[in-house]
Every structure is written in C-alpha cells, then in structure tokens.
Amino acid sequence: MLKSLLGIAPKQEEDGSFSPSWLALKLSTSKVSDFENIPYAKYEGKRAKILVVFTEQKNMTMLNGKAFSTGNHPVEALLPMLHLRNAGFEFEIATPSGKPVAFEMWAMPREDTAVMGIYEDLKSSFQNPKALPDVLVSFQAEIESYAAVFVPGGHGAMLGIPEDQNVGDMLRLAHEHELFTISLCHGPGSFLATALGGHEFLYSGYKMAVFPDSVDKQTPMIGYMPGAMPWQLEAKLRELGATVVNTKSDKTVCLDRHLITGASPLAANELGKLAATTLLEQLT
C-alpha cells in the first residue's frame, strides 16, 4: 500500500507480469524523444541492407519469481533506425523464430511524430518478421548486399537471444565479412551467443558501451522492475574479455573497429548518428 501511495509499485498487467511504476515511467520515459532529423547524403551503393534482430519474448522472470513486462525498447530500436533510413539504408526485420517483435510499449514516445511514423511504416514487418534461421540462408548467400546487423536494446534482448546459436552464427558471419555490428543498452547480450558451441568470444579485447549492472541493481527501488535481475550482463561481458567504457546509463557511444555500441536509451540518438555517419564514410 505504501509503495502505491509513493508511486513506486510496479503496475500489474493482464497476463500477471509487471510494468514500471508511475515514478519509474516519469523518470525514465518521455512523450517525445531527442531525435535529430539530420539531412544525410543518401547511400546509393549495393550494400544497402541492415539485418535487424529483435526479441520476440516479453516477460523476464526476476530472482523473486515475478515477471517483468519487457521486450525491445522502442526508442533504442527506432531512433537508430530513423538515422539509418535517412542515410539511405533499408531493413530486414527478424526474430529468432519469426514470432512478432515484442516492444516495451510503455516506453513508446507517442507524441513523437518521427518515431511513431517509422513505427507505423514498419508495423507490418514487426508483426510478421522473418525467422532468423531462414534469414541466415540468404544472409550468407547475399552477404555483399548487407552493410550491418543491428540488435536493439531493452531487457528483452537478454531473453533467448544470448543462447541462440543462430545469433552467434549471424554475428560471426558479419565479423568475417567486415560488416558493422550495432547495438546498445542490453542488446549486447546478443554478443554472448558468439561463444556458444565452443567458439571463442568474438569481442574479447573490444571496447563497448553497455547498460551498467550497477543501475540495474538500483532500478527495483523505484519500481522500474518488480525484482532483482536474474543475471548481470555487464559482468558476463567483462568476464569474457570485453572492456566496458561507461559507468553510467548515459549518452555514451563507442566505435571499436566494426562494432558500434551505446550505453542506454539516452544514447539512442547519438548511436544513430554515429552508425549513419560511419557507414556512409566507410561504404562510399
């Protein structure tokens, strides 16, 4: 009762999961984003495709057994895609099994015309994505038509994707053919898949930005999540040899070779700008 009065009680959804409290939403979401509509020179080469791998899973079971209503964070997905589309790139949308993309709809900036515009433009693809195993066949056969792979953030990126061998195969293919890999916040959980099947972790020795474990440990106190995280992403990446460059959930972005990463939802606009300018510089 006291948590409800203070606005820090997570909201229970119809399926029994919990979305962030009133206070957490007020502190961490906005009705509009900080998207900058930059007039990029349009890419006109043959490597115009970007494979975007979303999560299809919605609920994360916390240590206390309660389910957190999550998915991909819409700002973390759509702001980088806005920049990349404005730079002339196109998207191939996939989920691990072809089920619809799961979004954290409670974080959707519904008064942002640019974000809502690209969401509506791609809504059919979000509802009917390709299955990653099928995409991998064409991805390998037509690798020269791709510029990058992008794994958006949101806690849902930690569900299933880090344990998916197809994700590991995709990232290794991208690495071998010097495609760019773009991710932010909890999306780098996908990088763990490169170590599956006895493979070496692909990004040992790389610098990257990722959502800090220290912040994940604090957010249950304001009801962002209904309990403590089941595991810590930053710690796992560090254990495998990655160098995390940020300590806060801020606007930090990082470019290391063909890896482009960002720290949090606050970095989505900066990540989009960095990705768009880097791809244009390197591919034209």
Decide if 140 contacts 172 (C-beta within 8 A): no
Which residue in the list 48, 185, 229, 260 is annotated as catalytic?
Answer: 185
Q: How far apart are CA 185 and CA 168, in angstroms?
A: 18
Catalytic annotation present for 185? yes
Alpha-carbon dihedral 190, 231, 197, 161, rounded to 10 degrees: -30
Integer Cα distance of 207 and 257 in angstroms = 9
Pairing of strands 180-184, 146-151: parallel
Is the Cβ–Cβ distance between 246 and 46 less than 8 Å?
Answer: no
Tokens 């890896």 correspond to what residue? Answer: 259
Q: Are 71 and 55 in contact (CB under 8 A)?
A: yes
Under 8 Å between Cβ of 230 and 63:
yes
Q: Which residues contact 123 (CB under 8 A, 6 or more apart)?
A: none
CA distance 182 to 184: 7
What count of residues does the chain have? 284
What sign does the CA torsion over 224, 105, 25, 214 have?
positive
**Which residues are marked as active site?**
185
